Amino acid sequence: MKHSIPASLARVVGELPEPGLLPEEHRSPFETVEPATEGFVDHDGVKVAYSTWGTSRPWLAFAPFFQFGHMRGLRAVVPTLGRRFRVITIDGLGNGRSDRPQDPDAYGFERIYQGFVAVLDVLGVDRVALVGISAAAQLAIRFAGEYPERATHLLVCGGLPHMRLDNEKFAAAAERDIARMLEDWPRYLDEFMTAAATEPHSTKVFEDGVRHAWATNAQVIEKCRRGWLGTDVRVFATQVSCPTLIIHGDHDATVPLALGKSIGKLIPHARMLTIGAGGHLPFSRDPVQFIRAATEFVIGPMTERTWVRSLNRKKRALFISSPIGLGHVQRDLAIARELRKLHGDVEIDWFTVDPAARYLLNEGERLHPATEKLANESRHFESVAGEHDLNAFFALRTMDEVMTANFMTFADLMEAEHYDLVIGDEAWDVDYYYHENPELKRQPFVFLTDFVGCVPMNKEDEREAYLCADRNAQMLEHVGRYPYLRDRAIFVGNRDDVVEDPFGPGLPGIREWTDRNFCYCGYCLPFDPAALADTERLRARHGYRPDEKVVIASVGGTAVGRPLLQRIAAAFPRMKAAEPGLRLVLVTGPRLPADTFAEQPGLEVRPYVHNLYEHLACCDLALVQGGLSTCMELVATGRRFLSFPLRNHFEQCVHVRRRLFNYGADHSVNYHETTPDELADRALQAMHRPVRYRPVETDGAARAAARIAEVLENRWWAR
C-alpha cells in the first residue's frame, strides 16, 4: 500500500489543531515526561525556546531542527533518553515556541548557530554529547569542531556537511524549488515529507512532519533556506576529535547516503550505522533503534549485571496487562491462576500501571519494580477525548510516544533479567516493536487480544479510512514476515465474535485472517457465575438492603466517562421519583474526584470498588460505558444493563456490539441522542426487562492457560 498522503490531505492535516503550541496552553510537548526546566534565551533581540529533560547524567543536546520542525518532532525518543541523559531540546526561530522575527537575517546560519551556543551557555553546559539531525547536523559539527573541549560525542543523523551551490544549474534549481514552495505550500509539504518518509507504512511520520511544518509557513522557510545557502562546515568537520557516529538511511530521498558518508571521510575516526531501507527520519520512524544506538554510543554497554547459571534459574513469566480499566487484568489474573495450576513452580511478575496495578497488589500479586517507569495511557486518552466521544483509532495512532517509552522500559528489563515466557494481553507496544526489531526478542511471546483489526468509524472520511487500512496492512505484513514472533496468538472469544469486514480495500477479511493466525479460547471470565448466583448473600455482603433497588454506573479507569456519569446523575431525580427506594452508585474510577457530583439523596459516589463484578452481579440495573469486560460480566451473571458506547470508538461500537449481539445482549444507547429524562425512562424500562442471554462459557481462562502452558513446556515448538 502506498504510504504517502495526497496533498489534499496534507491541507487537512494542516487545519487540525496542534496541542501544546500556543503559549497559554503549553506545558510539555510530550505526554510521558515533563521537562525539568524550560525557558527562553534572549539572543540578538529574539527569544529561542528550550527545554531540558532529566536532572542528572551526561548532557545530550539536540541542535535545533531546520525550521520545518520543532522539538515535538522528538517525542518518540526524548521520554526514554531523558532517563539516561540530561537532554536539551530547542525550537529553532520561526517554529514551535521560539520567536518568528521578520528580519530575514535572523534566520541565517550564523545567527541560528550562535543562538544554539547561547542556550548551552545559559544552561551552564560544559561537556555535552551533540545530536545533529538533517541540516542541523551542520550546527552540531561546527560546535564539535570549534569547541573540542566541550564536545564529548557527536551523533549525526541524516546529515550533510554543506549546502553549497557550486554552479548556476544548482542555484537555478534551488530558486525553482523556493518558487514552488511559495506557490503551493501544502503540495510542497506533501512532496517534502514523502521524500523524507520513504519507508512503507510511514503515514504517522508523514502527518507529524506536515503538522509540525504547519506551525511555520513558506515565507519563514524561504528566509531560512536563503540564510543557509552556501553554508559549509567541512573545515570544522576535520577538526572534530570526539567520538562520532553517523546514522543514515540508504533510502533517504532527502539527503542521499553519499552525503552522510562524506562526513565520515572528513572525520576519519567516525563510525557508521546505515539503516537498510531506511529514510530520512529514523529517530521518528525507527525510534527504538535510534535510542539504543545513541545510548550505547554515548554511555556504552551495561557496566554492572548479574548472570545466573541456567539450571539455577527459576521458571519465570512476565505478564503484561493492558491498564485501561480493570477488565483485562481481571481476566489475566484468572488465566495466571489457571496457569499456576498447570505449573505450580512458575513465578509470575506483572507489568502494568494503575488502576490494574492497584488491583493486582490487592490480590497479593507481585509487580515488577520496573513498572514505576511505565507511562500511563490514561492521560493520553483523556487528552484526545471529547464529550463521550473517543476516536479509538486516532487515540491509538497518536500514542506512539507512550508505546515507544514503555517498550524501551520492557526491552531494558528483558536485557537485564531472564524470563522463560512473556504474556502480553493487548501489549500492542511490545508486539509492534518486536515486529519492527525482531532481533530483540529473547524469549517465547504469547499475544492475547479480544479484537482484531481497526475499523474506520467515518467511512466517508478519506483520511480515516485510508489510515485504518494502512495500519491493518502493516500488521498483516508484520505477522506474515515474522510469524515466529508470536509463539502463540490467542483470541479471547469465539470465532463468531470476530467481525467479517475486510481489513481494507484489497485486504483479506478480518475473520478469515484471524482463523489462520489465532486460536480461540472463548471468553475468559474472572469468576464462576455459579458462585455469584446467590444475589441475596451478595447484597448482604456488600451492604445493599433487600428492599432497595440498586443501580450501579461504571465507566472504567479514565476520566473519559465523566460526561456519561454526569448525565446519569442528572437523570437520577426522575428515576428516584418513579422508584422512591432507588439507590444509585457512581463508580468514578481513580481519575475523577468525588466532588465532581453534587450530593443527592440516594446517590453514592465511590472512586474504586474492588471486584466490582460482585456488586454488578447483585444490582438491579447497570449503566456502563460499553467496554467488553464489564458488559460480558453482566451477561454472564444475567443482569439487566444499558451500555453507552463512546462515539467513534470502533472497538466499543463495532467489535463489542458484535459480540454482545451474539449473546443476545446488545442493549446499547446513543448517548448523544438521549437527554437525561429519556435516559431515566429507558433505565426504568430496562430495570424490568426480561433477560434472555446466551450463557457465557466458563472455561475460557483454563483454555487460554492450557495454550500458554504448551509454549512454556516447549510442546508448541515441537509441533
- For the chain, the helix, strand and coil percentages under 3-state DSSP, each to the nearest 5: 45, 15, 40
DSSP string, 268-283: TT-EEEEETT--S-HH
Report the C-alpha gap between 211 and 584 in whole angstroms: 45
Pairing state between β 316-321 and 271-275: unpaired
Residue 289 has pLDDT above 80, yes or no: yes
DSSP string, 403-415: HHHHHHHHHHHHH
**CA end-to-end distance (rounded Å), the chain:** 34
Report the C-alpha gap between 681 and 276 in whole angstroms: 62
pLDDT digit string, tens, across residues 653-691: 999 999 999 999 999 999 999 999 999 999 999 999 999
**What does the pLDDT read at residue 10?**
57
Q: Which fold has domain 529-686?
A: Rossmann fold (3.40.50)
pLDDT digit string, tens, across residues 389-441: 999 999 999 999 999 999 999 999 999 999 999 999 999 999 999 999 999 99
| Residue 17 preceded by cis peptide, ω within 30 | no
Residue type at 372 in one-letter notation: E
Q: Read off the pLDDT band of 594 (50, 70, 90).
A: confident
Report the C-alpha gap between 454 and 634 in whole angstroms: 26
- The percent of residues in the chain predicted with pLDDT above 70, rounded, is 95
Contact 561, 597 (CB under 8 A): no
The whole-number average pLDDT for the span 191-211 is 95
Q: Which fold has domain 22-298?
A: Rossmann fold (3.40.50)
Residue 4 has pLDDT above 50, yes or no: no
| Residue 355 preceded by cis peptide, ω within 30 | yes
Instruction: Spell out a b/e string for 57-71, using b for 16 or more CB atoms within 10 Å of the CB, else e.
Output: ebbbbbbbbbbbbbb
Contact 430, 410 (CB under 8 A): yes
**What does the pLDDT read at residue 173?**
82
Tell me whether domains 22-298 and 316-525+702-712 share a fold.
Answer: yes
Predicted TM-score (pTM) of this structure: 0.94
Report the C-alpha gap between 566 and 570 in whole angstroms: 6
* DSSP 8-state symbol, 312: G
Q: Read off the pLDDT band of 27 (50, 70, 90).
A: very low
What sections of 123-202 are H helices per DSSP? 137-146, 168-183, 185-196
Read off the C-alpha cell for 43.
539572543
Q: Read off the pLDDT band of 302 (50, 70, 90).
A: low
pLDDT digit string, tens, across residues 83-106: 999 999 999 999 999 999 999 999
**What does the pLDDT read at residue 26?**
38
- Give 441's contacts (C-beta < 8 A, 6+ positions apart): 434, 485
Q: Where along the chain do its domains lie?
A: 22-298, 316-525+702-712, 529-686
pLDDT digit string, tens, across residues 327-347: 899 999 999 999 999 999 999
* DSSP 8-state symbol, 133: E
CATH H-level, domain 316-525+702-712: superfamily: Glycogen Phosphorylase B; (3.40.50.2000)
- Whose cell is 441522542? That residue is 673
Torsion of CA 136, 138, 141, 146, to 10 degrees: -120
Report the C-alpha gap between 389 and 672 in whole angstroms: 9
- Give 610's contacts (C-beta < 8 A, 6+ positions apart): 359, 362
Residue 11 has pLDDT above 90, yes or no: no
Read off the C-alpha cell for 133.
539531525
Q: Distance between alpha carbon 58 and the CA centroid of its chain, in Å?
A: 27
Q: Read off the pLDDT band of 9 (50, 70, 90).
A: low
Q: Identify the three-state secondary structure at position 654.
A: helix
pLDDT digit string, tens, across residues 485-497: 999 999 999 999 9
